[in-house]
Amino acid sequence: MLTLERRFHFATCSLIVRARRSLQALWNPAALTRSLIWEIRFSSLFHGESEPMVIKGRAHDIQQLHQAVNHYLTSTFLSPAAVLQTLPSTSPQEAASSSPATASTAPTLAARGLVAHDLACGSLVGSQPQLTLSATQLADLASALDTYAAAQQAQTLWQRTQPFPWRPIAMGSVMVTLMGTAGFVYWQRNRPIAPVISSAPVETPPNRPPVLDVLPPPPLDVPTPLPSPELPDDLAKLKPIAPPSGVTAPNRPGVPDGGVIRLPSTDGQIQQQLPAPSTASRPPTSRPTVSRPPVSRPPTSRPPVSRPASPTSTGATPPPTRVPPAATRPAPTQPRTTPPLPPSPPSLPPTPSVPSLPPLIAQADSDAGIWAGNESAVETPSTPDKPGATTVTAPISLPDIAPSARSTPPQPSKPTANAPTTIPQVTEVQQYFAQRSRSSLVPTAGVAYHLTVGADGTLVRFRPLDTASTDYLEQLSMPRLGEPFVSSLASPHRQAEIRLDVNSDGQVTTRLNKLQ
């Protein structure tokens, strides 16, 4: 409440003056006087337990009280006549009885002896209708009223009053604001982040594009539906064009056009120089046999579906083998992720004609390094011999030798039910090498190879089965890769793997190992 207050404190009484602050009081100070209310509280050292004496009133009441007190003091109590006249004969008790306070509208004072004075409140609002004041209380009351009157006359009554406490209020407001801000920040930092679930539809402004989600949507278990394009009517009426006929890849291994492979003849000389596969024109990374892991790599050019049970499939896992580039072509059953290439023109280079000449004798200066260029066609030995092979005695008798460690007991081959046990090409191979084997150069343990013959009778791949066979390869009159040296295979067959064994006595034994 906007109330002015002024307090006058003395030893035994306190005067409290209040006035209501208003806009009118800004230019008319008399408005404050009209709204003035006051009260006087008396305290006594001897009446501490009794009810405190309080008198209240308004502005004109305090003026009446002031006049009554002054008149009483100057005319009655402090009068020399009263002193001189009352001294010899009157006592305090007698004075109190002789001058009773008369009740009237204006407050009046009457002496009750030397140290007591009766105050009749009159129009004043008092705790009691008549208050008995001591000399000190009367003196303090007179001093309080004098001080008030002096301040009122000098118009300094409200100057010492504290103005409206703008400063504490402003400081308090600032403190509350700062504390509130700090508390809000603290709450914002410490509150748990919870998703806001609202059932109200989210309205997006019409001019703004919808905000994309920052996080990608979770993957769905439902497979992505395949697109099913529908042709428009104009295109649907057209006659579909037949796809171009595929080009049959030549079923021949990639003939190396680079290096030269020199095959040893039976007499220890190089009979023929075979072109080694060129690695210059084909980057190494393009060789799928190197980059693909052994598991995912097709074992050979044969599709795994039609692969018959082989000794390796029943026994231990075969060691990793190197596949020639021609044999590492992807099987037709493998899915292709790239779009189909346009059909290549059928004008492929014709297969070079196979000379029906006897094998050339390679020069004797061939060394083992020449095989480096054709190592893709030469595989490490791993497959043991198989029984049931065709054995042809070489013209050169070879001494009996004890079976070596490499000639482990052969595991019986389990040909498929539809596959024939032998083909004519087995005999042709046996005859080919029987004519060229030299018993004097054959190691005592003998040599063994796996020869893969293509559909057109060419040699697709050969693989020595042990180290001795590899060393003896130079002495063996091995035909060139890609050069047909036997007759073509029957119609459904594409490849045939033939095992070739040459004993130390020059006996050449061949048998069909696998037929595809």
Partner 1 sequence: MDSSTDSVADFKTGFSGELELSPLQTPGVEALANIKTHLDVVLLALESLAGLGSEAILGAAAALELQHIVSDRVSLWRLRQSNPQRQSASGRKTLDVSETRALVLIICHLAQEHQMLIRRAVTLLEQMTHQSKDPYRAALLGDYLDRFSNTYMERMKSSALTRPEHLNHLALKLLVDLLFYGSPQGARRLWLALFDLAALA
List interacting residues with partner 1 (CB under 8 A): 11, 45-46, 70, 73-75, 77-81, 83-84, 86-88, 90-92, 113-116, 134-136, 139, 142-143, 146-147
What is the closest distance, in whole angstroms, from the C-beta atom of residue 139 to partner 1 in the complex? Answer: 5
Please spell the DSSP secondary structure of 59-120, one letter per residue: HHHHHHHHHHHHHIIIIIIS-HHHHHHHTTT--HHHHHHHSPPPP-SS-EEEE-SSSEEEEE
With the CA atoms of 395, 396, 400 and 406 taken in that order, what torsion angle do they form, in degrees rounded to the nearest 10? -90
Q: At what angle do helices 59-71 and 135-153 cross, to 10 degrees?
A: 130
Q: How far is the CB of 126 from partner 1 (least distance, A)?
A: 21
Cα separation, 317 vs 310, whole angstroms = 11
Closer to partner 1 by CB, 142 or 354: give it.
Answer: 142
> Which positions ≥6 away from 461 have C-beta within 8 Å?
253, 324, 327, 377, 379, 450, 451, 452, 481
Specify the residue, 97 or 173, whose C-beta has the smaller distance to partner 1. 97
Q: Considering beta carbons, is residue 11 or 249 the nearer one to partner 1?
A: 11
Cβ-contact 426, 321 below 8 angstroms: no
238: which 2 tokens? 């057209």
Question: Residue type for 431, please?
Answer: Q
79/177 with CB nearer partner 1: 79
Nearest distance in Å: CB 142, partner 1 = 7
Closest CB to partner 1 among 88 and 192?
88
Any alpha helices (H) in 121-271, and if so which ranges?
135-153, 166-190, 233-237
How far is Cα 380 from Cα 465, in angstroms, rounded to an integer?
Answer: 6
Q: How far is the CB of 114 from partner 1 (least distance, A)?
A: 5
**Is the Cβ of residue 24 or residue 90 nearer to partner 1 in the bound state?**
90
Q: Which residue has the tokens 């095992």?
A: 499
CB-based contacts of 495, cutoff 8 Å, min separation 6:
301, 302, 452, 453, 454, 455, 460, 489, 514, 515, 516
The closest of 380, 378, 440, 388 to 414, measured between CA atoms, is 388
- Return d(Cα 373, Cα 260) in angstroms, integer: 8
Of 77 and 432, the one with the shorter C-beta distance to partner 1 is: 77
Block residue for tokens 């064009």: 241
* Beta-bridge partners for 53: 42
Give the span between the Cα atoms of 455 and 351, in whole angstroms: 13
CB of 151 to partner 1, least distance (A): 12
Query: Of 59 and 139, which has the nearer Cβ to partner 1?
Result: 139
Q: Which is nearer to partner 1, 4 or 111 (CB)?
A: 111
Least separation in angstroms between residue 113's CB and partner 1 is 7
Residue 189 CB-half CA count within 13 A: 5
Smallest distance from the beta carbon of 159 to partner 1, in angstroms? 19
Distance of closest approach, residue 31 Cβ to partner 1, in angstroms: 29
Nearest distance, CB of residue 68 and partner 1, angstroms? 14
In the bound complex, what is the minimum distance in angstroms from residue 76's beta carbon to partner 1?
9
Q: Which residues contact 437 (CB under 8 A, 6 or more apart)?
A: 266, 394, 396, 476, 502, 506, 508
Three-state SS at 393: coil
Closer to partner 1 by CB, 86 or 278: give it: 86
- Shortest Å distance, C-beta 87 to partner 1: 5
**C-beta closer to partner 1: residue 93 or 416:** 93
